[in-house]
């Protein structure tokens, strides 16, 4: 069971209930990024969180330089995003799972790491505990359940390596 400070509880409530409304009003991705920073996302220079992005625990996300994020970030287990990472659109990253052997299905949280120079395409899903290694490309609609190799191209459900990229 995760424990949050009062400030973090407020950030979660604002992120989950107010941001979906505010993001429809914000016309600028830079302004949207600024608001997410106020809510606790640690984001480096020249990175953008596109309008429409949903985040449930903003203080659990760290984004490197020159990255563009767009999608649904279920971040209570922590999400680390490197430099020069691109989320095309509607990418889902989930750090949460459930203990399927438990009667109560308690939540399990594991960090997701997306290393530098990676590209995650439309409607891709990255599940808890996964590390997307440097230079990886994840194809549209892929569901990544295991760590990737550097400079690999992954596609399918579950995602499998289909080729290597030129370095």
Question: What ranges do the domains of the chain cover?
Answer: 6-148
Instruction: State residue 1's pLDDT score.
Output: 61
Residue bearing the bigger pLDDT, 98 or 142: 142
CA distances from 37 to 33, 78, 116 (A): 6, 16, 21
In angstroms, the Cα distances linking 96 to 1, 50, 60, 112 are 12, 23, 13, 10
Domain at 6-148, CATH class: mainly beta
**pLDDT confidence tier of residue 20, bands split at 50, 70 and 90:** confident
Using pLDDT thresholds of 50, 70 and 90, give the confidence band for residue 151: very high
Higher confidence at residue 72 or residue 26?
72
Asked if 110 and 116 count as a contact pair (C-beta separation under 8 A), the reply is: no
| Global pTM value | 0.92
Mean residue pLDDT across the chain = 94
Per-residue pLDDT at 24 exceeds 80: no
Mean pLDDT of the 34-45 span: 94
Closest-CA residue to 126 (of 152, 150, 94):
94
């Amino acid at each position: 069971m995760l424990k949050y400070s009062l400030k973090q509880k407020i950030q979660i409530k604002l992120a989950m209930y107010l941001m979906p409304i505010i993001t429809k009003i914000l016309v600028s991705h830079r302004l949207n990024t600024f608001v997410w920073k106020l809510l606790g996302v640690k984001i480096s220079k020249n990175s953008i969180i596109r309008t429409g992005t949903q985040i449930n625990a903003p203080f659990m996300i760290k984004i490197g330089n020159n990255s563009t994020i767009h999608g649904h970030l279920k971040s209570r287990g922590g999400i680390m995003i490197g430099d020069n990472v691109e989320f095309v659109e509607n990418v889902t990253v989930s750090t949460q799972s459930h203990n399927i052997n438990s009667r109560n299905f308690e939540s399990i949280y594991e960090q997701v790491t997306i290393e530098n120079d990676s590209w995650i395409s439309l409607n891709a899903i990255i599940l808890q505990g996964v590390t997307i290694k440097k230079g990886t490309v994840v194809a549209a609609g892929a569901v990544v359940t295991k760590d990737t190799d550097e400079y690999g191209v992954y596609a399918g459900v579950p995602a499998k390596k289909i080729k290597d990229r030129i370095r």
